[in-house]
Amino acid sequence: MFAQTTSTAQAVATTAECPECAGTVAFNGKTLKGEIVTCPDCGAELEVTGVNPITLDLAPKEEEDWGE
């Protein structure tokens, strides 16, 4: 009922469109859902919300109780 295991969650090499500026974000073959990447064009922090195909959304804003 939870997320996929990593053997099925990794994406193959591909690109995805930045939801902020429509720039192209490139990925290698080890991308995992939940990773944070930076758009090379506009610098927006993006979260990988899905793989196969890769989908991106703006990363959540830091909350006050985030940390270690």
Partner 1 sequence: MKIGLVYSRVRFEEKLIIEALTKRGIDHELIDDREIVFNLTPNSTAASNGHDTNLASPDDFKRFDVILDRAMEFTRGLYALQILNSWGVRTVNRAQVVALCGDKLLTTAALSQHGVPSPRTEIAFTPEAAMQAVESLGYPVVVKPVIGSWGRLIAKVNDSEAAEALFEHKSVLGHFLHEIFYLQEYIAKPGRDIRIIVMGDEIVSCIYRASAHWVTNTARGATASPCPLDAALEKIAQDAAHAVGGGFLAIDVIEDPTRGYLVNEINPTPEFRGSETATGADIPNKLIDYLMRVASSK
Question: Which residues contact partner 1 (rule: CB under 8 A)?
Answer: 1-7, 9, 32-36, 47-48, 59, 63-68
What's phi and psi for 7, nearest 5 deg? -65, -30
CB of 39 to partner 1, least distance (A): 16
CB of 58 to partner 1, least distance (A): 13
> For partner 1, which is the closer residue by CB, 9 or 44?
9
Q: Say how many residues make up the chain.
A: 68
Distance in angstroms (rounded) separating the CA atoms of residues 1 and 22: 33
CB of 25 to partner 1, least distance (A): 16
Strand pairing class (45-50; 55-58):
antiparallel
